[in-house]
Structure 1
Amino acid sequence: MGKWGVMAGALLLAVVGLALLPGGRAPLSTGQPATSEALADRRGALIDRLVFTRESDPGRVTGLLASGSHQAFVQGIGSIPVYRRLRDTPAADYDLAYGSSVELTLNPVGPEFRDGRLNPFHVPATREALHRLVDREHIAEELYGGLAVPRWLPISTAFPDYARLAETARALELRYAHDPAAAEATITREMRALGATLEAGRWHYRGSPVTLILLIRNDDERRRVGDYLANQLEDIGFAVERRYRNAEEASRLWIAGDPAAGQWHLYTGGWISIVMQRDQAQNFSDFYTPRGRAEPLWQAYTPSPEFDALAERLERRDYADWDERQALMARALELAMQDSVRLWLVDRLSVSARASNVSVAADLAGGLAGSALWPYTLRYEGRLGGEMVFGTPGLLTEPWNPIAGSNWIFDRMITRALADPPLLPDPYTGLYRPQRLSHAEVTVAEGVILSRSLDWLSLDRQARIVVPEDAWLGWDAGEGRLVTVGEAHPEASLTARTRVRLHYEAGYLDQRWHDGSRRSVADLLLPWLLAFERADEASPLFDAAHQPTFEAYRQHFRGWRILSTEPLIIEAYSDQAFPDAETLVAARAPQPLPWHTLALGILAERHGELAFSSHQADRRGIDWLNLVAGPSLPILRRYLAEALSHPQAHHSLPFAAALSPWVEEAEIATRFAALDDWVTARGHFWVGDGPFELAAVYPLEGSLVLRRFADFPDPADKWLALSRAALPELTTQGPLVVAPGEPAGVRLAVTQAGEPYPDDAIEGVRYLLFDGDGRPMARGEPRRRGPGEWELTLDAETLAALGAGANRLEFILTSHWVALPSFASHLFATLPASAGEASARETSP
C-alpha cells in the first residue's frame, strides 16, 4: 500500500472512531468474556460495532485476516490458491456455500440496435445454439479449478428441485452437451437468414464487420470465463470487443442502461441465492419474463406465449397435484433452453473467509453475504461485544431505497442487518421460522399441494375458502380510497385457495424504529398501497416497469384484513401456494417500512425530482432515489423541512384517507421530528428496526459503519442454536469391472462426523444408472441395510443393456436437516462378452 492508501486508511479509522496504533493499525476490541450473566442481560447483536470497507483483491484476504485488521470478507472466494492459503493459515477459517452461479446474460433486442448494428442474439435459435458452443466441464475444472460444477438449467444443481427432476435434467444436459460443430452450423444458418455474410472467415452485416461487445466482469474469476467465451465466439467468425468492468461500472450498462442502445451484446453475469430455495418454480418468471425485475433489460424480454403462460402459472403454483407440478417444471425447463436469454454455465462452491476466532451462521446457499442470520449470530468466540471490520468488493453499488433500490448482494447483506422481518429462513433447510410471529394458522382448499414441517404453525384443509367482504382487495388511486372485496364482487362470493392468519407477538406495535418512532399499522399498509399506486397509469407515481410484477401479484392476490391490533393479527387470502406451508406464511406476511421515510420519497417522485426505480429515473431524466448518499439527500432534506413545517395529515401523510385511521395527528409531527434528529446526527435517511442501525455512511471513502441497536427486543442468544450445519457425507463401495452375465452389488454409506447419519434425518435415497453416453438406463430406491447404510444389486439383464464401456451409478440423498441434496457416484466398466469369458477363465481356480 502506498502512502496515499495509508493516509486514506488512517482517515477512515479515525472517522469511525477507532484509535490508531503506531504504524496506522487500529486496535479492534474483542469485547468482554461471554459469561452467562452478561449474555442473559444483552439484547440484539452480539458485537457492538461493524465497519464495512471496500476490498476487491481476494489475494489479500488471508494476510489481512492474519494481521487482525479484518475479521471477515463478504465476497465468496472461488480461487483455489486463496482457498488453500485460508485452509493452511491458523488465524483464518472459512465456510462453504453452494448457492452462487455464473451465467451468460444475452441482450435480446433487435434484430438491430437503435444505431443499425446487428444483434445476432435477438434470434432465440442463435441463443440456444450457444449452449453447445460452450464447454461447461472446461469452465468448471480449468477456470474454477474444480470449485464449480457444470450447470445448464434455470434450477440450481444444489437445491431440491434438481434432485427431484434429475432424470429430466440429465436428458437436457445430454441434448445440449458440448458440440461446437453443431453450434456453428445453427448460428451460420441464422446469421445468413438475418442477411449477414461470412467473408474471409469473419461475419459482416451491411458492409461492416459484426463486432460483439462482451461485457466482462474483471473483479473475480469471470474475467477468465469472459476471455474463454470471447475466444469461442472468435473461432466461429465474430469479432469480439472485450470490455472489462467491475460490478459498479458494468451495472450502469447491462442493468441500468437501455439494451436498445447496443452498449453490450453479452455479459458475464453472476447470481447468488441468499436462502436454500426449496421450490424454484419462480425462477422462470424471475429470469425470463418482464415480471422478473423492473430494469430495462427485463422489459425487453419476449418469451413465447407458451413459455410466458407456463412461467406465470408456476409462479402462482397453479397445479392440481405433485405429478402435474413436475410435468410443468419439466416442460418449463425445455422452453427455457429454447428461449435462452441467459446461459447458465456453472454453480460455484463459494468460500466465505473469516478470522478463526470469529463465529457466524453462514447460509448453505448464500454463505456469509447471503445469510439472514448473520446479524444475530456474528461474534467473537467466547466473547460479547467488540468491533469488527468486514471487507467487501462492492459497496453502495446502486442507490439504496426499499422499494426498487439496489439488489446487489453486498448492499442487501447490510440492509438485512438493519431490518427485523416477521420471519427468517433457516440457513440450512430454507424453512422459515418466526421472528416476530407467535404462531400462524394456514388453511388451504382441498386439492392444494402443501405440507408442514415445523410446529410453530398449524395446517388444515377446507372444502371452500370464502374471502370476507370487508377484506381489502385494492386501492383506487383516482379516488384515493381502499376497495373491499364486497365492493369489487357485489354479486358473488370471492374464493381463495389459501388463507393465512398471522399472529404477531405481544407488543409488536409498541416496538421502535431506529429513530425512536413507535411502529404503526401504517408501516405495514403504506408499502402495499404504493404497489397499487405505481401500477396506475393515472398516478404521478406510475412506473411501467413495475406493471408486470404487479399484474402477476394481482393474478393470485385475494385480499387481506387486520383482525386485531393488540395483539396484531393479520389475515391474508391468495390463490398462490407453495410446497411448504412455512414459505406460504413468509410470502403472505407484510414487510413493514417506516411510512415517514417513504413519504419523503413519494413527495419527491410526485414532483418529478427523484424516482424509486432506475427505469423511472431513466425515463424521466431524474435521479434514482438514494436514502443514504448522493444528490437525493438535499432533496429529501427539503421535503423533510416542509413536513416539519406542515405536519398535518393532508400535507405530510401519503394516502391520508387510508392511513389516517392508523396515524394520529400528533404522531405525524413526532415522526418527522425524530427523523430530523436522526438525519442531523447520521447524515442519511435509512431508518430500520433490525439488530444493527446504520451509524454512518462514507461513500467517498468506500465505507460505512453499523452499530448495535440497544433497544432491539430479542435476547442476544436467540438464534445461536443455528450456528452449524449437519451435512451428510456419502461414500460408495462396489466393483470397478463387471463381467457379462454377472450381477453387481453396490453399497452406500451415509455419515456425519464419522457417525451414521440419523435415520429420522433422511428424507429419501434414490439412484440413477447411466450408460457410457450419459443416457439414463434405470432408476429406483436402494435397500436400507442398517444405520446409515444402503445397498443395491444391479441384475445381469440391466447390466447387459448398458453395453460394453464405462458407466455411472449415481445416488441422490435428501435430508430433513439440510435442503442441500447430496450426490455420490460409483463408476464401473462392463466388459464385452468375449473379454468377460477370457477374464473368467484367467481368474478361475
Structure 2
Amino acid sequence: ISMSAWKFVEGSVTQMYAPWYGWMPGLGESTWWNYSQDELDELTKKALNGMCLNEQDYWDTLREAVKLSIQEAVRVFAVTELSYYPTSKRTTGIAYDVGSGLGSRWVFQTAQTPDNKLKVLQYSSVGSLFMGAFNTIDGLEDVYANYLYRPVRDYATWSHPGEGVPIPVRVTFDVEKKFHFEGEDLIGELDVPSDYVVYDSAANEWVEVGSGVKAVSKVTYDYLFSNWHNGMPMTMEDIKYCIAHVYEWSYEDEEGDKYYNANYGMGTSETLDRIKGIKFVDEDTLEIYGDFQHPASDDLIADYFAFWPDLPWPIYEASDYLVAIHGPKSGTDYDYSDREGTTQFDLLVEMHVEDMREALQRFWQKGQLPPAMDITVDEAKAAYQACIDWIDAHGHCFISNGPFYMDLYDPANMYCVLKAFRDPTYPFEPEYWTERLTLARSVIDSVDIPASVKVGDDIPVKVKVTNKIEYPDAREEPAEVAYVDVYLKDASDNVLYSGKAALKTAGNFEITIPGSKTANLSAGAYTVEVKAAYKEGGYPDLRKTQVILSQVTEESPTPTPAVTTAAPTEAPEEGMSTTTIVGIVVVIIIIVALVYFFTKKK
C-alpha cells in the first residue's frame, strides 16, 4: 500500500519484486530459504542506484523488471484497490496525497478543525493499533504504525503530495555532477578532497578517504535544526551519530557481529557503498560526494544521500545495548528483527521501555561517550537525562523532531494522542505547508491538428488547456502556466519530433511541427502526442491524435494531342477503276472453282 505519491517508482518496484531488498519469500533471513532471481536483482539495482544511461533507459529498465516479475509470478497484484476515506464536515484544509489519499503525513500538518482537535479512526485487522514492532531498524513495516510514526518525525526531504517528487523539508540542497559512461559503467569525474571522511564501523572512527578518489556527484546540505521533543537541541553531532549508526548496523565487521542487522543492511549498504567522502563543514552544513546520478532529476540525487535522524542518539545507544547485550533490568534477549528465540524490540512496549530507562541510567552514571561524536561528558549526561525524563513523563521511548509528539500511548484501549510541537525552535509555523503545497493539474480540453497533410508540409498544433486547482482553494481557470510537450511518433512509438508549445492566450498553446521533420517520412498514419503538466516534470495529462501524411503528386502539363499526318493513298492506275478490278478478281475465283469441281468429278 502506497503511503505517498512517487513519480519515479524504482523504490516500489525494487521493494515488491527484487529478492536482494529483503521483501520477497525468505525476507533475507539467512537461516531461512530465500527466493532468488539474479536478473531481477541486476535490473532493480541498476535503476535504484543511478546506473541508467538516460531517462529512456531508466523506464525501459523498470519495464523489463516488471515484465520479468510478472513472468516469475512470485508476487502477483491481481486488483487495483480504491480506498475511500470518510471525513467530517468540521475537518477542512486537508492536503491529501494523490497516491494515498488521507494516508499521507501531510494530512496531519494541513488539516484544520474549529477546536484544533483532529480525531482519527483506523482499522487494523489484528485488533491493535499496530501490526508489528515500533523500531526504526527492522520494524515499522505496517501502514498502521507508519500513520503515527511519520507525523511525529521529520524528514530531510519528502514527496510532494501532488507532484510525486522529493521537496526539501529539513534541508535545503545544492547538487553538482560530472560523469560519463564507459559501456554500462558509471565513471565519476569530480575530485574528492583527501581530507573528506567515511565511517569505519570496524574501528569505530571516522577515516579520511585519501587522495585520488573520484565521484559522480556532490550534494551540499544546509540543515534546519530545532530542539528534540524532549527539549534537547539538535546539532551537527546528531547528524554525525546518525550516519555512523547506519554504517554500524549495515556491515558485518566480523563473524557474529552483534552490531549488525542483515535485513537492515540489505537496503542501506547499497547507498553507503556509493558514498565517496563526507565533510561536516560547519554547524549546519554537510557535503557528501558519491557515485549516484538520476537521469530524470537532480532532486533525487539529493534525496538519495540525505541523512536525517529520527531518534535522539541516547535512544539508539540504549536500544543497541538491549539488542547486542540484553535487557539490563529484565534480562530479555532482544533483536531488532523478528527472530526465533528473541523478543523484537519495541519503543512503546512497557517492559522494553523499563529496560531502556535502566540502560540510559547506567550510561548517565558512567558518562558514556559514543565514538562517532565530539561531545563532552556533561553534554552526554544532559542528553541521557532528557531521555530519562521523557520516559518518566510519557511512558514510551518514541522521541523525535517532527510537527507532532506522542503524548500518550494506551495499547489496552488502542488509543494514542499526538500533540502539535509548538517549540519556538521548530522551523515551520502551523500554516507553513498549507501556504506552500499546491495540488493542481493541467487538463487538455482539445487538440486541433489537420486530419491530413502532405509529406514535407508543416503540421500546426493548437492545444486548449485548463488548470484545475484542488488545494488550497478549488477552482478552474484557462491555463496561463502549463508545460505542454508535443511529440510526433511513428507506428512503432519512435519519437520523430518533440517540442514545447508556446502560450498564445490564456488556455491556448500552439506549436508547429516543421515540414523539415516530415519531408523524409513515408506516407501513412502518424501520432501527434500531447502532454500537459501544471509544473515541469509533473504528472501530465495525455492526448493522442492521428495525422495522415500523403504523398506529394507532381502535376504534369496537359499533353498536346499528337497531330498525325496520314500517308496519301496511292492513286489507281489510269484507265482502270476500282470496280473493274474487283469484277476481274471475282471472275477469276469462279473459273478456278469450276475447274476444281470438274476435275474432282472425273
| Interval containing the TM-score (normalised by the shorter chain) | 0.7 to 0.9
Using the alignment, how far apart are the partners of 1:463 and 1:425 within structure 2?
Answer: 28
| Paired residue secondary structure (2:282) | strand
For residues 144-177 of structure 1, what are the alpha-carbon distances to aligned partners after superposition, in whole Å with 9 as ceiling and x for unaligned?
Answer: xxxxxxxxxxxxxxxxxxxxxxxxxxxxxxxxxx
Report the counterpart of residue 307 of structure 2 in structure 1: 590
- Contact 1:695–1:705 (CA under 8 A) maintained in structure 2: yes
Contact (CA 8 Å) 1:731, 1:748: kept in 2 or not?
Answer: yes
Structure 2 counterparts to residues 297-308 of structure 1, below 5 A:
297-299=26-28, 302-308=35-41
Q: For residue 414 of structure 1, report the CA deviation from its aligned partner.
A: 1.8
8 Å Cα contact 2:13/2:44 also seen in 1: yes
Q: Does 1:580 align with 2:279?
A: no
Residues 665-695 of structure 1: CA deviation (Å, up to 9, x unaligned): 1122222222222111111110011121100
The 5 A counterparts of 1:367-406 are 367-371=101-105, 373-380=106-113, 386-394=116-124, 395-406=129-140
| Partner of residue 89 from structure 2, selected from 343, 356, 370 | 356
CA distance in 2, matches of 1:303, 1:779: 40
| Structure 1 position 540 matched with structure 2 position 258 | yes
Distance change in 2, residues 1:306/1:514 (3 Å): same
Q: What is the letter of the counterpart of residue 279 of structure 2?
A: R
Counterpart CA distance in 1 for 2:147 and 2:376 is 34
Partner in structure 2 of residue 292 of structure 1: 21
CA gap of 1:733–1:546, structure 2 versus 1, over 3 A, is: closer
Query: Does the Cα contact within 8 Å between 1:522 and 1:595 map onto a contact in 2?
Result: no
The one of 485, 496, 503 aligned to 1:764? 485
1:563 corresponds in structure 2 to 281
Matches of 1:391 and 1:724 in 2, distance apart? 26
Q: Give distance in 1, aligned partners of 2:358 and 2:173.
A: 42
Q: Given the superposition, is the C-alpha separation of residues 670 and 324 from structure 1 closer, same or farther in structure 2, using an over 3 Å criterion?
A: same
Q: What SS does structure 1 have at the residue aligned with 2:174?
A: strand
Counterpart of 2:204?
A: 480
| Compared CA separation, residues 699 and 573, structure 1 to 2 (3 A) | same
Aligned residues: 498
Alignment of 1:26-175 (within 5 A): none
Over residues 102-143 of structure 1, what are the superposed CA-to-partner deviations in whole Å (9 max), with x where a residue is unaligned? xxxxxxxxxxxxxxxxxxxxxxxxxxxxxxxxxxxxxxxxxx
Match of 1:664 in 2: 376
Q: Distance in 2 between matches of 1:613 and 1:767?
A: 54
Distance 1:543 1:776, change over 3 A: same
User: Where does 1:157-196 land on structure 2 (aligned, <5 Å)?
Assistant: none
2:285 paired with 1:552: no
| 3-state SS in 1 of match to 2:299 | helix
Q: Take 2:141 and 2:389, find their aligned partners in 1: how far apart are those partners?
A: 28
Q: Which residue of 2 aligns with 1:468?
A: 193
Residue 389 (structure 2) pairs with residue 677 (structure 1): yes
Give the counterpart of 1:599 among 317, 320, 331.
Answer: 317
Q: How far apart, CA to CA, are the structure 2 residues paired with 1:597 and 1:428? A: 35
- CA distance change for structure 1 residues 551 and 689 in 2, over 3 Å: closer, same or farther? closer
Following TM superposition, by how much is the alpha carbon of 1:400 offset from its aligned partner in structure 2, in angstroms?
1.1
- Whose radius of gyration is greater, 1 or 2? 2
Please name the residue that 2:433 is paired with.
719
Q: In 1, Cα distance between the equivalents of 2:72 and 2:81?
A: 24
What amino acid is the match of 2:300?
Answer: T
CA distance in 2, matches of 1:407, 1:536: 23
Show the counterpart of 1:618: 339
CA contact (8 A) 1:725 1:818 kept: no
Q: Aligned in 2, Cα 1:283/1:668: closer, same or farther, shift over 3 Å?
A: same
Equivalent position amino acid for 1:762 in 2: Y
**Structure 2 length-normalised TM:** 0.73
CA contact (8 A) 1:289 1:301 kept: no
- Aligned position for 2:541: 822
Native 8 Å contact 2:3 2:103 kept in 1: no
**Alpha carbons 1:396, 1:699 under 8 Å: kept:** no
1:750 aligns with 2:470: no
**SS at 2:539 equivalent:** coil
Q: How far off its partner does 1:572 sit?
A: 0.6
TM-score, structure 1 as length reference: 0.53
1:702 aligns with one of 414, 430, 443 = 414
* 1:440-478 superposed Cα distances (whole Å, 9 cap, x missing partner): 331101448xxxxxxxxxxxxx9831222222223232x
Equivalent residues in 2 for 1:512-551 (5 A)?
Answer: 512-534=227-249, 535-538=251-254, 539-551=257-269
Write out per-residue CA displacement over residues 759-798 of structure 1, whole angstroms, 9 at most, x where no aligned residue. x42252458798xxxx979987699696346799999964
**What's the counterpart of residue 217 of structure 2?**
498
Deviation readout 1:309-347 (Å, 9 max, x if unpaired): 222122211133344434434433443333333223344
8 Å contact from structure 1 (residues 730, 823) kept in 2: yes
Structure 1 residues 399-443: Cα deviation after superposition (integer angstroms, max 9, x where no partner): 112222213233223222112323343222233333333x43311
Question: 1: CA distance between counterparts of 2:102 and 2:234?
Answer: 29
Confirm or deny: 8 A CA contact 2:314 2:360 kept in the other structure.
no
Counterpart code for 2:443: E
Which residue is 1:119 aligned to? none
Whether the 8 Å contact between 1:290 and 1:548 is mirrored in structure 2 is: no
Shift of 1:556: 1.7
Pair 386,378 (structure 1): closer, same or farther in 2 beyond 3 Å: same
In structure 1, what residue type is equivalent to 2:433?
W
Distance 1:550 1:798, change over 3 A: same
Q: How big is each residue's C-alpha offset from its partner over 1:41-61, in whole Å with a ceiling of 9 and x where there is no partner?
A: xxxxxxxxxxxxxxxxxxxxx
Unaligned residue ranges in structure 1 (runs of 5+): 1-270, 449-461, 487-491, 739-743, 802-807, 829-845
Q: How many percent identity over aligned positions? A: 18
Native 8 Å contact 1:768 1:777 kept in 2:
yes
CA distance in structure 2 between the partners assigned to 1:554 and 1:422 by the alignment: 17
Q: Does the Cα contact within 8 Å between 2:280 and 2:286 map onto a contact in 1?
A: yes
Paired residue secondary structure (1:389): coil
Check the 8 A contact 1:502/1:570 in 2, yes or no.
yes
User: Corresponding residue for 2:442?
Assistant: 728
1:374 to partner: Cα distance:
2.8
Tell me, in whole angstroms, the C-alpha distance in 2 between the residues paired with 1:563 and 1:784: 44
Equivalent residue number for residue 325 of structure 1: 58
Q: Judging changes above 3 Å, is the alpha-carbon distance between structure 1 residues 516 and 612 closer, same or farther for their aligned structure 2 residues?
A: farther
1:254 corresponds to which residue?
Answer: none
Kindly tell me: are residues 463 and 331 of structure 1, through their superposed partners in 2, closer, same or farther at Cα, counting changes over 3 Å?
A: closer
Query: Structure 1 residues 713 and 811 mapped into 2: Cα distance closer, same or farther (>3 Å)?
Result: closer
Task: State the SS of the aligned residue for 1:393.
Answer: coil
Query: Does the aligned pair in 2 maintain the 1:272–1:370 contact within 8 Å?
Result: no
Q: Tell me which of the two structures has the higher relative contact order, counting C-alpha pairs closer than 8 angstroms and 6 or more residues apart.
A: 1
2-structure distance, mates of 1:345, 1:817 = 33
Q: Determine if the alignment matches structure 1 residue 418 to structure 2 residue 152.
A: yes
Distance 1:823 1:657 in 2: 55
Deviation at 1:604, TM superposition (A): 0.1
CA shift at 1:561, angstroms?
A: 1.9
User: What residue number does 2:585 align with?
Assistant: none
Alignment partner of 2:348 out of 618, 625, 628:
628
Change (3 A) 1:796 1:520: closer
Match of residue 10 from structure 2 = 281
Aligned equivalents of 1:574 and 1:520: distance in 2? 23
Ranges in structure 2 where 5+ consecutive residues have no aligned partner: 182-186, 327-331, 453-458, 469-475, 548-602
